[in-house]
Chain A
Amino acid sequence: MTQWLPLVALLSNAVTGHESTSGQLPVCRNQVVAQVVKRVGCSPGDIKCWSRKGGFCGDHVEARIAAPGHAIKFQLASIPVEEIQPGDVAHFAIRAHYAYVERVKKDRAGRPVAVDLSEFNFGTCWVDPDLMVTDQYKVVNRRAGVPVGSVDGGFLRARRVSP
C-alpha cells in the first residue's frame, strides 16, 4: 500500500542535499567560499537569504515538478522501480538528497536499469556546513546513467492534489 506524503513535508527533511553526509564533505577553501558568496549574494549563516535564493536540491525538484510560486499542492508517493519515468524524483536516503529524473534507461526486457538526473547543491565541499550550502548551490548538476540500485531511498512520484 502506498503511503502518500505531502511533497513539502517529505522533502523538507532533506532540502539542502547533504544532511547526513555533513561529515564526509570537506569545508571549501575560503577562496571558493568567497566566490559562491559573490555569485549568490548571500553571506554564510544567513538562512533566510540562502532559502530565498532557492539553490537547494529540493528547490530544483520543486521547480521541475511545478512552476514555483503557483498555488498547487503536490504529494509524493513511493513507486516501484519498474514504473520509473521521467519527471519522478530520485531519493538518496543516506545522502538525504533528492534529484529530478530526466530520462530512464531500460534493459532489453524493458526494466529500468539507470536514470539520468538533474539536481542542485550536489557539491564537492561546504560553503556553509551548518546550513548545508555547497559549492554547487544553485548550480544544475547532471548525472547520466546512475544505476537505479544506487538510489538507496527509491523513487517518488508527484501527484497534484488540488488546483
Chain B
Amino acid sequence: MLLAACWAGLGLASCKARDPEPARGSPTPATVKATASATNDTPAILAMLPGENPAQKGSTPPGSGLQLTSPAPEVEFVFSERGGGVAYSEQKDAAFHVVHNGQPGKAYAAVGPVVLSPDGRRWAHGALVGEAWRMVVDGLEGESFAAVQAPVFSPDGAHVAYQALAGEKWYLVVDSARSAGTSTRFLGHEFASDSSRIAYIVDVDDEQWGKLVVSDLAFKSPKVIEARASNLLVNEDRSGIAAIGLNEQQQRVLAFAFDRPDLVRRGPKYDAVFLLAHGPDGVSVAHTAVRAGKHFMVLDGAEAPLPPGELIGFPVVRPDRKAVGVFMWSGDSVVLRQFFRDAFSAAVLGSEAEGLAYAPDGSSCAYAAHRGESWFLVAGGKPGPKFDRVVSPKYSPDGRFVVYRARQNGKRFVVVADNVARTVRQHPAYEQVFPVGFTPDGRSIAYGVKDGPRLMWKVEAL
C-alpha cells in the first residue's frame, strides 16, 4: 500500500505545466563546441597514462583524511569543457608535476589545482617554487607571491585571473595586471562572456560581505556596483550577474547584465536571502528568503510562502519562468515542490532525490531518485531502470531525451532515455565517465572518459 501511494505520488511529481503557452527565453541546456578531433563514436585520445599502477600515481583524494583502510591514491582528471584537453597532477617521489595532454611539466614541491581553458589548449596551476608560490600558465612561471589561488581562464581562453597574496594584501591578477590590494580578501571572480570584463567581491569582512565590483581586465576603471554584497553568481552564458546586497540590515537580490552594470535590478527587501539561482534563460533569478519570521520562495520578485521543511539543493527555475521546483524534506520523506504556476507538492520515491531538471518547454521534469540499494531516473513521472548510482540528468535541447550518467557493478556509462525514463541507448562502459554535454546541433553528446590508460573525449550520437 505504501509503495502504491509513493508511486501515485510520483505520478503527480511530473512537473506538468498546464499552461499551453510556449516557453519564453532560450531554455537550452549547456552545449559543447567540440574542439577535439572526435567524431561520432570515434573518440579522440587526449592522453595515455604511462604504467597503470595506481599505487604509484597521484595523491590522496580530497576528503576526510580519515582513510584508515588506506585506499589506493587516485588522480583527479580535468577535462576542458569543449573537449580539447585533459590535465592532472601526479606525484613522483617528493615532487609533483602537472601533465597536460600527456605532456608532463616541470616538477615542483607542490602544485595547486589545475584548470584548463575552455578549448583545452591552455592550462594553469599554482606551484611552489622555492618558498614562494607562482601561477604557472602553459608551463611559464609567473610572479612570486606568498600564496596564489583560484585560477580561471576567460571564456575565449586568452586571459587567466587568479588571487595572489603579497605582503599583507590579496590582489586579483589578470595576466600581468593587478587590482588594488585588499587587507582582507576576495570572494570569487568571474569573467564576462566576451572576456572583456571581470566581476569580483573585494574587501570581504568576516560575515562574507564586500564590495561588488565590475572592472575592465586592466583594472583601470573598476566600478563599485554595491558597497556590501555577497554570493556572486553568474548565469550559464556569463551574460548576467546576480548577488545578494546588504543595506541597513536588510538583504535583497541584485541582478544586472554584465555589459550594463549601470542598470541594476533590485528585488524586495528581506531579513535574509538564501539559495540564489539563475533560471535557464539567464535573466530570471530564484531564491529563498525570510522576512519577519516568514519564509518565502521568490522568483523575480514574486513571493510564494515556503512551507516548513529543509530544502535539498537549490531551487530550479522552470524554463518558462513561471514556476520554481525544489526538493524538500517533509517529515521523514522527500517531496518535490513546485511553486507559483501549477503549484504542487508530491512525494518522490525513496530516501533521496537530486538533480532536478526541467524539459526545455517546461512540460515535464526529471531527477535521480534513490530507493533501497538502487538509484534510478525519474522522467515524466515514470521510473527508469535501477542502477547502483544515477547522477546528473539533462534534457536534450529538443526535449525528447534525458541523458544521465550511471554506475552498475563498478562500470560507469552514459544512458540516453526518452522523456518517460525508458532507456533508448546505453553507451559503452568505462572506468571513469565525466560530465556530459550536448553538441550545438543537439544530436550528439560529448564527454570525457578514462578507459584504462587512455583519457579520451567521446562524441556519440544520441
Q: What is A's interface to B at a CB cutoff of 8 Å?
A: 7-8, 11-12, 15, 23, 26-27, 29-31, 33-34, 37-38, 41-49, 51-52, 54, 56, 58-59, 62, 66, 68-74
| B181: nearest chain-A partner, CB-CB | A30
In contact, A48 and B59 (Cβ under 8 angstroms): yes
A30-B170, A46-B113 known; A70 vs B70 contact (CB < 8 Å): yes
Complex interface: stretch among B143-151, B212-220, B324-332, B357-365: B143-151
Chain B stretch 91-147: residues in CB contact (< 8 A) with chain A: 109-110, 112-113, 126, 128, 131, 133, 146-147
Is B184 engaged at the interface, CB distance under 8 Å to the other chain? yes
A33-B165, A37-B147, A38-B146 known; A48 vs B62 contact (CB < 8 Å): yes
C-alpha gap A66/B69 in the complex (Å)? 10
Taking a contact as CB atoms closer than 8 A, the residue among A34, A51, A66 that contacts B60 in the complex is A51
C-alpha gap A59/B168 in the complex (Å)? 30
In contact, A44 and B147 (Cβ under 8 angstroms): yes
In contact, A12 and B63 (Cβ under 8 angstroms): yes
In contact, A73 and B147 (Cβ under 8 angstroms): no
In contact, B64 and A44 (Cβ under 8 angstroms): no
For the complex of A and B, 10 pairs with smallest distance between CB atoms = A12-B64, A34-B146, A45-B149, A47-B62, A30-B168, A37-B147, A15-B64, A59-B65, A52-B60, A43-B147
* A-side contacts of B184, CB under 8 Å: 27, 30
C-alpha gap A71/B147 in the complex (Å)? 35
In contact, B146 and A49 (Cβ under 8 angstroms): no
C-alpha gap A56/B60 in the complex (Å)? 14
In contact, A37 and B68 (Cβ under 8 angstroms): no
Selected A-B contacts with CB under 8 Å, 18 pairs: A11-B64, A23-B207, A26-B206, A27-B185, A29-B183, A34-B147, A34-B165, A37-B146, A37-B147, A38-B146, A43-B133, A45-B112, A46-B113, A48-B61, A48-B113, A52-B60, A52-B65, A74-B68
* B-side contacts of A8, CB under 8 Å: 64, 66-69
How many Cβ-Cβ contacts under 8 Å join chain A to chain B? 108
The winner among A31, A44, A56, A74 for most chain B CB atoms within 10 A is: A44
A34-B165, A37-B165, A46-B149 known; A15 vs B66 contact (CB < 8 Å): yes
How close is A77's CB to chain B, nearest CB, in angstroms? 15
In contact, B206 and A69 (Cβ under 8 angstroms): no
C-alpha gap A61/B82 in the complex (Å)? 43
| A49: nearest chain-B partner, CB-CB | B110
How close is B75's CB to chain A, nearest CB, in angstroms? 10
How many residues of chain B are within 8 Å of chain A by beta carbon? 37
Interface of B, helix, strand, loop or mixed by DSSP: loop
C-alpha gap A33/B148 in the complex (Å)? 12
How close is B115's CB to chain A, nearest CB, in angstroms? 11
Taking a contact as CB atoms closer than 8 A, the residue among B64, B113, B133, B149 that contacts A51 in the complex is B64
In contact, A15 and B65 (Cβ under 8 angstroms): yes
* B-side contacts of A44, CB under 8 Å: 147, 149
In contact, B68 and A62 (Cβ under 8 angstroms): yes
| A44: nearest chain-B partner, CB-CB | B149
In contact, B69 and A72 (Cβ under 8 angstroms): yes
Is B76 engaged at the interface, CB distance under 8 Å to the other chain? yes
In contact, B64 and A46 (Cβ under 8 angstroms): no
How close is B45's CB to chain A, nearest CB, in angstroms? 26
* B-side contacts of A7, CB under 8 Å: 66, 68
* A-side contacts of B69, CB under 8 Å: 8, 71-73
A27-B184, A45-B149, A48-B61 known; A11 vs B70 contact (CB < 8 Å): no
How close is B90's CB to chain A, nearest CB, in angstroms? 12
In contact, A56 and B65 (Cβ under 8 angstroms): yes
* A-side contacts of B150, CB under 8 Å: 45
C-alpha gap A59/B76 in the complex (Å)? 22
C-alpha gap A51/B61 in the complex (Å)? 8
Is B169 engaged at the interface, CB distance under 8 Å to the other chain? yes
Residues 277-291 of B, flagged 1 when their CB comes within 8 A of A and 0 if not, give: 000000000000000
A41-B109, A46-B126, A73-B69 known; A29 vs B64 contact (CB < 8 Å): no
* A-side contacts of B59, CB under 8 Å: 48, 52
Taking a contact as CB atoms closer than 8 A, the residue among B67, B70, B113, B133 that contacts A37 in the complex is B133
| B205: nearest chain-A partner, CB-CB | A27
* B-side contacts of A71, CB under 8 Å: 69-70
C-alpha gap A7/B69 in the complex (Å)? 11
* B-side contacts of A62, CB under 8 Å: 65-66, 68
A7-B68, A43-B147, A49-B112 known; A30 vs B63 contact (CB < 8 Å): no
Known: A12-B66, A48-B60, A59-B65. 20 other contacts (CB 8 A): A30-B167, A30-B169, A30-B184, A33-B147, A38-B131, A38-B146, A43-B110, A45-B113, A48-B76, A49-B110, A49-B112, A51-B63, A51-B65, A52-B60, A56-B64, A58-B64, A66-B68, A70-B70, A72-B69, A73-B69
Chain B stretch 58-90: residues in CB contact (< 8 A) with chain A: 59-70, 76
Residues 150-167 of B, flagged 1 when their CB comes within 8 A of A and 0 if not, give: 100000000000000101
C-alpha gap A148/B184 in the complex (Å)? 38
C-alpha gap A30/B185 in the complex (Å)? 8
A51-B60, A71-B70 known; A41 vs B147 contact (CB < 8 Å): no
How close is A147's CB to chain B, nearest CB, in angstroms? 27
How close is B160's CB to chain A, nearest CB, in angstroms? 15
The winner among A33, A70, A74 for most chain B CB atoms within 10 A is: A33
| A29: nearest chain-B partner, CB-CB | B168
How close is B87's CB to chain A, nearest CB, in angstroms? 14
In contact, A11 and B112 (Cβ under 8 angstroms): no
